[in-house]
Amino acid sequence: MYLSLLPLHLLPLPLLSLLLAPSSSSAAAAASAAPPNAILLSDVQSLTLRGHGALTTHRRVPAIPQLRCVSAPALCALHPVDVMRCANHGAAYDAHDVQWSCTASLPPELKLASTDVVCEGYSSPDDPYVLKGSCGVEYRLLLTEAGEARFPDVAVAAAGAPEGAPWSNTAAVLFGVVFAAVCMIIIYSACVNARDNLNAPRRPRDNRWGGGGGGGFDPGFGPGGGGNDPYDPPPPYPGPKYSSAAREQGWRPGFWTGAATGLAAGYAAGSRRSGQERSGSSYESRAGPSSSSVSSARYEGTGFGSTSRR
């Protein structure tokens, strides 16, 4: 108890080492508590990410691409980034919210916007420790002035669908549902008309002008086996005399058939357009003199972003 009142520099060296040993051992124990494959992002000074399908490591959740473009598909398809290097620029609000600057080789038609680093928290999304090798970058591309001049159709597509047009899939599904409903109505109507035609009483043949048996004919329907009634009016034939003939003609295409045809054409056009946007080639189907590839020149583009955990 009295030793604690003495200044540390007056204590003997062996005794001083004994007093300080518990604190140093507790620090070592805290350092060894972290798993060998876990690391604090604040200790990571740089990251190198690769494209072309390279994946991150994973432990709790599935792996993600090391590089993922989240701009409009037409923009992403112009130049997939091969390699990106990110540097740690310190924390923002707390020690775990690390800010990054990322650079990549780009053609003069494109520039980097945001470059957000996404890592897997070791035990949860809130864990300050992250799994080594689990970090990827979600980056956005923008057209430069040179890019807007070279790819005006891509600029229009990116402005109309900046994040890949998620509504296009919904529209295609709605078209499919409506088209199927109209087809069912058409089939049902055809079946009802066919049943009515079979159950309707048939008018006996008028053999006034024909021979005795099967040579007769209905004088309202043109030449047949017997002759022709010169007193019948020319077509169309109104009145009850010809009502049974109208019933016997059965179902014919009408409003619902036209509606189904129009819906089918609209559905096909919408599906084709959404497929082109998903593949990143929608700009090729639009009219315009734009080129289909970027220039061969390159420069180092830079983007900035923060950190998120999954």
User: Distance between CA atoms of 248 and 252, rounded to whole angstroms?
Assistant: 11
Predicted confidence at residue 205, as pLDDT, reads: 55
User: Distance between CA atoms of 119 and 40, rounded to whole angstroms?
Assistant: 11
By the 8 A CB rule, do 75 and 154 touch? yes
The torsion of the CA quartet 206, 207, 213, 216, rounded to 10 degrees, works out to: -80
Q: What is the pLDDT along the chain (310 residues), one digit of tens a residue?
A: 444 455 555 555 555 454 554 444 444 444 456 788 999 999 999 999 999 999 999 999 999 999 999 999 999 999 999 999 999 999 877 778 899 999 999 999 999 999 999 999 999 999 999 999 999 999 999 999 999 999 999 999 888 754 444 444 555 666 677 778 877 888 888 887 777 777 766 655 555 544 444 444 444 444 444 445 555 556 655 555 545 544 445 445 555 556 556 655 665 555 555 554 444 444 343 434 456 789 999 999 999 999 999 9
**3-state class of 115 per DSSP?**
strand
Interaxial angle between packed helices 167-199 and 255-278, expressed in degrees from 0 to 180 and rounded to the nearest 10: 160
Predicted confidence at residue 18, as pLDDT, reads: 47
User: Distance between CA atoms of 301 and 113, rounded to whole angstroms?
Assistant: 9
Find, among 67, 69, 287, the residue nearest to 157 by Cα.
287
In sequence order, the β-bridge partners of residue 38 are 131
Domain residue extents for the chain: 38-151+292-309, 168-285
User: Distance between CA atoms of 203 and 191, rounded to whole angstroms?
Assistant: 22
What is the maximum alpha-carbon separation in the chain?
A: 145
Cα dist. 259→29, 102, 184, 204, 273 in Å?
Answer: 75, 53, 13, 38, 21
Predicted confidence at residue 216, as pLDDT, reads: 45
User: Distance between CA atoms of 232 and 240, rounded to whole angstroms?
Assistant: 14
Task: Name the phi and psi angles at 305, rounded to 5.
Answer: -165, 180
By the 8 A CB rule, do 277 and 76 touch? no
Alpha helices by DSSP H, listed for 51-150, are 73-78, 145-150
Q: How many CB atoms lie within 10 A of CB 91?
A: 15
Is the pTM above the cut of 0.85? Answer: no
One-letter amino acid of 199: N
Predicted confidence at residue 246, as pLDDT, reads: 46
CA 233 to chain CA centroid, Å, is 64
Cα dist. 74→15, 70, 142, 220, 250 in Å?
Answer: 72, 11, 11, 65, 51
User: Distance between CA atoms of 284 and 44, rounded to whole angstroms?
Assistant: 42
Pairing outcome for strands 136-143 and 110-119:
antiparallel
